[in-house]
Structure 1
Amino acid sequence: MSSFYQIAPNLSISDNPNFGNYYREIVHDLLLSVDTNFSSALNIPPFSTRNCIIEYRDEGPMCSNIAGVHFIFLHVTGNSFQQWLYQFSHEYCHHLINGKMTSSIYGLMWFEETVCDLASLYQLHTIYNQWSTHSNQIKKALSPTFREYLSLYLPEHKQLFSATHHPGFLSLWEQILFEPKYHRDHYNAIATKMFPLFVENPSLWKMILYFGDMRNWNSLSDLFEHLHQTADDSYSKSLSDLEKLLLS
């Protein structure tokens, strides 16, 4: 049976042997940085969200709500630092959105998945910038690997990303996106399209605090109407720019 190491007030990680032998200081700092970067963008105290346990899972990454505790399952081994960051960022975004976390895919779950893909891109970019000038020489030496890893996904599917430059591209993809299955290639293309706005104004991440259960939404226009009603001055213009980017 696994035991757990508490690495922050709200974060614990399993000693599951499937994680392999990894450089704990570096990996734990990456995981903590995901929270602090998001907390800064969301203007909330770091490590102030509900308890979250990080565990290994053969079947792949996911975020689950088990008896009121969020479990983030990762499928990563050893010093695959880029994968630790990429997977955890995606699942931690689900954790912050705090929906019902069932396996059903309907409503605007495609948009939540897109935003969580965007979270991985954003954190790779942010950690690269933070570590490229870090006083810790190991972190500084690792920083280019995050930029290189980001380049693999920004975008991952160049032909689909090219289609996002055409007005009304989302309406053409609507039937595909609302299918009850994952279309991660499309999510990546849309996330890549959104990426510059979140880099320009990290406060735009505040919108995820008002998503709720994305299965309750059937229209992106309706969601944006709701988000405009809850937006503050730090990101209201950026939210309008995002809506225009996606729906014009």
Structure 2
Amino acid sequence: MRYLKILLLFLLTLLPFQLQAFVAPAQVSVESQEWGDASPADVQTVLQSVIEVISPYMAGRNFGAITVRNDKGGPISLYERGATGEYIVLLNVNGRYWAQLAYQFSHEMCHLMSNYDLAPRNVSQQQWFEESLCEAFSLFTLEKMAKHWETNPPYPQWQEYAPKFIDYQQDMYKQTHRRLPKGMKLPKWYKQYAEALSADPVAQGRDLNELVANQLLPIFAAKPQTWVIMNYINLGEDSDDKSLNKYLSDWQKNVPSEWSETINTIKQTLLNPS
């Protein structure tokens, strides 16, 4: 595992952030046929649109083949790869709910970008943070999808759907459980829930992740290109120190220097009680 982390860090230093022409950084194939009244071809079109929208934040990486299945066990990215080494992503969408589809798929793509398979099954005891980060990324992606489909939808008749991405985003963003208790700052809240989060990355049915996501989102919204730092998480060396501070410090050590200040801001937001 350590060798794979070192290799990926080395490769990331060689990859350009900006490509001369768009080359899809992932090739999505839809395996399931049962998507309610949505055709698999339309589902694949939406998923490829998500890839196009989030591609600027992939640090020039190519994730190769990704097989997507509709499954009640989703949404989840499996640790096990397919027969030819492809990623396998399960989604749980029934019908032509493109916003829900984009929301789930972008969340799972965030896990791939965050090197989830190099820190499997909560080995870091900080997988909850990755989950929270990916929730924030999925909300961000919905906004990007709305803007993209407003001017460049996959099909002209889909342009009218663009506002629904924002509607879906706002319906979630405004949920009561995503707000901090009145008068409480995030470090105090985190101290209260740190043990539960370390033990279960999706404690309380993801309500805790979603609250943290709402607090992280403005940091990235102020400078969207900062999302590239997701590609450098989960690359720290294994140690007995499983603290959040160690996890974030490893992340900070591995990102290019121009993004280090963003992680400082995240540290302050989560850990500085002042």
Query: Which TM-score band (shorter chain)?
Result: 0.7 to 0.9
Amino acid at match of 2:51: D
Question: 204-213 or 139-148: which moved more?
Answer: 204-213
The residue aligned with 1:196 is: 218
Query: Among 252, 255, 271, which residue is 1:228 paired with?
Result: 252
Q: What is the distance in 1 between the residues matched to 2:120 and 2:50?
A: 24
Query: Among 60, 67, 83, which residue is 2:100 paired with?
Result: 83
Please list, as runs of the form range in 1=range in 2, the aligned pairs for 1:94-133 lying within 5 A after superposition: 94-100=111-117, 104-105=121-122, 107-133=125-151
- Give the deviation of 1:109 after TM superposition: 1.1
Are positions 1:57 and 2:84 aligned together? no
- Give the deviation of 1:140 after TM superposition: 2.7
Amino acid at match of 1:85: A
Structure 1 contact 42–203 (Cα < 8 Å) conserved:
no
Q: What is the distance in 1 between the residues matched to 2:175 and 2:255?
A: 31
Secondary structure at the counterpart of residue 178 of structure 1: helix
The residue aligned with 2:167 is: 148
Amino acid at match of 2:271: L
Query: Among 265, 268, 274, which residue is 1:241 paired with?
Result: 265
Q: Percent identity?
A: 22
Are positions 1:207 and 2:229 aligned together? yes
The residue aligned with 1:174 is: 194
Structure 1 contact 156–189 (Cα < 8 Å) conserved:
no
Q: What is the distance in 1 between the residues matched to 2:109 and 2:77?
A: 8
Secondary structure at the counterpart of residue 64 of structure 2: coil
Q: What is the distance in 2 between the residues matched to 1:223 and 1:166?
A: 18
Amino acid at match of 2:59: N
Q: What is the distance in 1 between the residues matched to 2:221 and 2:191?
A: 26
Q: What is the distance in 2 between the residues matched to 1:191 and 1:211?
A: 16
Structure 1 contact 41–206 (Cα < 8 Å) conserved:
yes
Amino acid at match of 1:154: Y
Question: 27-36 or 79-88: which moved more?
Answer: 27-36
1:73-99, CA deviations, whole angstroms, 9 ceiling, x for partnerless residues? 111122111111111111111122233
Secondary structure at the counterpart of residue 34 of structure 2: helix
Are positions 1:185 and 2:207 aligned together? yes
Structure 1 length-normalised TM:
0.82
The residue aligned with 2:88 is: 71
1:187-244, CA deviations, whole angstroms, 9 ceiling, x for partnerless residues? 0000011111112222322222222279957222112222222232442222222221
Secondary structure at the counterpart of residue 29 of structure 2: strand
Question: 201-210 or 184-193: which moved more?
Answer: 201-210
Amino acid at match of 1:208: M
Structure 1 contact 201–235 (Cα < 8 Å) conserved:
no
Amino acid at match of 1:116: C
The residue aligned with 2:33 is: 17
Q: What is the distance in 1 between the residues matched to 2:118 and 2:141?
A: 22
The residue aligned with 1:165 is: 185
Distance 1:149 1:9, change over 3 A: closer
**Unaligned residue ranges in structure 2 (runs of 5+):** 1-23
Q: What is the distance in 1 between the residues matched to 2:136 and 2:208?
A: 12
**Unaligned residue ranges in structure 1 (runs of 5+):** 1-7
Q: What is the distance in 2 between the residues matched to 1:162 and 1:180?
A: 22
Secondary structure at the counterpart of residue 88 of structure 2: strand
